[in-house]
Amino acid sequence: MAMVEIPADMELVYKRPESLTLAHTHYCPGCTHGVIHRLIAEVLDELDVRERTIGIAPVGCSVLAYYYFNVDMAEAAHGRAPAMATGIKRVSPDKVVFTYQGDGDLAAIGTSEIIQVANRGEPFTTIFVNNAIYGMTGGQMAPTTLPGQVTTSSPTGRDVETTGWPMRMAELIGILPGAAYVTRQAVLDGPGIRRTKKAIKLAFQSQLGGLGFSMVEIISTCSTNWHMGPVEALEWAKEHMVAYYPLGDTKVSDGVRALMEGR
Amino acid sequence: MPKELLEGNAAIAEAAIRAGVEAYFGYPITPQTEVLEHFSERLPELGRVFLQAESEVAAINMVYGAACAGARVMTSSSSPGISLMQEGLSYIACSEVPVVVANIMRGGPGLGNVQPSQGDYFQAVKTTGHGDFHMIVLAPATVQEAIDLVVLAFDLAEKYNTIAMVVADGAIGQMMEPAELPPMRPVRLPKERPAWALTGAKGREHIIITSLYLGAENLERVNLRLQEKLKKIAASEVRWKEYSTDDADLLLVAFGTVGRVCQTVVREARAKGIKVGLLRPITLWPFPSARLNELAHQVRGMLAVEMSAGQMVEDVRLAVEGRCPVRFYGRLGGIVPLADEILPELEKLDAELAGGKES
């Protein structure tokens, strides 16, 4: 990919990370997947690990993420990305391995796999995008859909009496001994995006240090299936999602603490 | 190497180790647990990967991941566990990565029991998972053959970038008999992994391994490519064994343990003057259809014997194309048909067809 020559009197302040391809994404206007992809790519560039990174795309809206990340990628069956990542990391421990999963993938059909990898402390990184809905299939109730939230499969609003409660995955995973670093962040505004990037970087650094399993849950939006404009969706997520899903770390192991304090 | 007294399950695991398996992922289930146990002891001491998965679903996806990374990898299970692996097997088939699976079959359906069975014939050769694909399916009748076929399974899986499944019933898994293990192959180094594998996009374009092909024409193209490959396998990898077929005018068709029992039936029937032969399929897919079709011109009739309600017999009938009568005898629930009960079935067929070959 040819880079444009930078004039001598100008400084390069912003560029496409090398860990992203030139492909146009299929994501809807206002979708936050693009932001999260970019944050991961920036981190891979900064850690200089692109050439030894293997990513796993999930089933869901980000199923085509393998076209967008300029790293080796595999596409997993629904919910099985953590098991695939386990296989890859075990036979290629020198590689940097990550899964990119949505809420249906990770918190419904793939609950077993995610809990088991965290408990075994598999030293890879999971990026968990929580937007409280099944986007790809057209807006059905997810395990993370909020009480009362209207979706195409909870048309009168999620009734917790019959469908259970939204799953707080960062808390659930955080209590497992094999998890080194688990955090929940949000990409709903500038400061949140910067904090999310820091968390993603720490998660990958924790992997590079062989410290255990790391997961960054990211509160995200789905304008299309929430039937809101992008700005309205961001505001709604701030008001409702963050209230139910508190931001912050749910697990920082001693090793990760040392990493944090070391920088 | 000298012959040793080996248990089938342990021999299967050790054969895989000798064949250079780099990683094993599996889940305990009777009657194959000794495969997992053998690996759990041997692989770590050899510096290779062993992991007991949380389920067969996870195990097959770990295998899928390791195969994508270019490692020589296998799993093993028994019938209900293979059912759980079907999703993963379908993804693996479409992604065209080499994987070896051993299925030490038990009685079904459902939880069934832990007795030897061949009830997974359909599952192995026809209904392995959603979509259009086949695995190479290898069926040993002895511990020695199980060893040889495990080694062959790796070679075929890697030759065609496909799944090779060794299906043995629980009897072969659990029994001990003298057999010879192959010499230890050198394990492939990480830098020797295939060019298509996910090893990091260093100095090359990034590689994607997927089974998603949006657009009907796209997916049709992929399917046609898969079918071309399957045709090639069907043309060159059919394996079977014949016993006393030269002058036979009746034919037994049976695989695995009951294929072995039928060798006794041939001897006993011949002592009674019945000119019977035996064809024992070794590859259940591809099936030795062409040879059966040839033999259908020679014999008066065939008797398929299985440890199931009659699954392989359907493929025998398809192969024979109505050229001769095909009868079936089977036992269910984990019962191995004995020579004493197969022989009368054969005599019945002999008497029924006494008028010579039907035209």
In a domain, A18, yes or no: no
In this structure, the number of other CB atoms found within 10 A of the CB of residue A134 comes to: 25
Q: Do A84 and B201 touch (CB under 8 A)?
A: no
Q: Kindly indicate the confidence band of residue B359, based on its pLDDT and cuts at 50, 70 and 90.
A: very low
In eight-state DSSP terms, residue A129 is E
CA B57 to chain centroid, in Å, comes to 20
- Specify the number of domains making up chain A: 1
Looking at the complex, report in whole angstroms how far the Cα of residue B74 sits from the nearest Cα belonging to chain A: 11
Q: Which ipTM did the prediction report?
A: 0.96
Across the range B268-276, mean pLDDT stands at 98
Q: What integer pLDDT is reported at residue A262 of this predicted model? A: 85
Q: Which residue of B has its CA nearest to A113?
A: B58
Which residue intervals of chain B bear CATH 3.40.50.970?
Answer: 4-199+225-236
In this predicted model, what pLDDT tens digit does every residue of A49-102 receive, in sequence order? 999 999 999 999 999 999 999 999 999 999 999 999 999 999 999 999 999 999
Asked, for residue A187, whether it belongs to a domain, the answer is: yes
The pLDDT of residue A177: 96
Residue of B nearest to A60 (CA): B212
**DSSP state, B96?**
T
Per-residue pLDDT tens digits for A242-259: 999 999 999 999 999 999
Cα–Cα dist A54/B65, whole Å: 10
Question: According to the model, what pLDDT value does residue A5 have?
Answer: 79
pLDDT at residue B133 tops 60? yes
User: Is cis: bond before B109, omega within 30 of 0?
Assistant: yes
- Contact A88/B at CB under 8 A: yes
The arithmetic mean of pLDDT across residues B324-352, rounded, is 97
- Residue A14 lies inside a defined structural domain of this protein: no
Q: Domain containing A127 — which CATH number?
A: 3.40.50.970
Q: DSSP assignment, residue A107?
A: I
The answer as to whether A1 is a domain residue is no
* CATH number, span B241-352: 3.40.50.920
CB of B328 within 8 Å of a chain A CB? The answer is no
pLDDT of residue A12: 86
| pLDDT over threshold 70, residue A137 | yes
pLDDT given at position B356: 55
Q: In what order do the strands lie in the sheet with B250-253?
A: B240-243, B276-281, B250-253, B301-306, B326-330
Query: Could you tell me if residue A21 is inside a domain?
Result: no
Average pLDDT over residues A212-241: 97
Contact flag B68-A21 (C-beta cutoff 8 Å): no
Query: In this structure, are strands B301-306 and B326-330 parallel, antiparallel, or unpaired?
Result: parallel
Cβ-defined contact of A70 to B206 (cutoff 8 Å): yes
* Mutation for testing the B interface, residue in A51, A91, A100 having most B CBs under 10 Å: A91
Give yes or no for residue A235 having a pLDDT over 80. yes
**Which pLDDT band holds residue A3 (cuts at 50, 70, 90)?**
low
Residues of B in contact with A84 (CB under 8 A): 61-62, 64-65, 68
Q: What is the mean pLDDT of residues A17-39?
A: 97
CA-derived radius of gyration, chain A: 18
> Where are the domain boundaries for CATH 3.40.50.920 in chain B?
241-352
Q: What is the pLDDT of residue A2?
A: 55
CATH fold for domain B4-199+225-236: Rossmann fold (3.40.50)
B297 pLDDT tier (thresholds 50, 70, 90)? very high
Give the C-alpha distances (Å, rounded to integers) separating A72 from A201, B150, B209, B301.
19, 30, 8, 56
Count CB neighbours of B111 within 10 A. 10
- The pLDDT of residue A53: 98
Question: Rounded to the nearest 5°, which phi and psi values hold at A185?
Answer: -130, 175
- Cβ B237 vs Cβ B136: under 8 Å: yes
Mean pLDDT, residues B262-290: 98
- Chain B residues touching A54 at Cβ < 8 A: 69, 198, 200
Domain that holds residue A148: 33-261
Among candidates A110, A103, A252, which has minimal Cα distance to A168?
A103
Q: Is the pLDDT of residue A222 over 90?
A: yes
**The model scores a pTM over 0.95:** yes
What average pLDDT does chain B have? 97
Q: What average pLDDT does range B106-123 have in this prediction?
A: 96
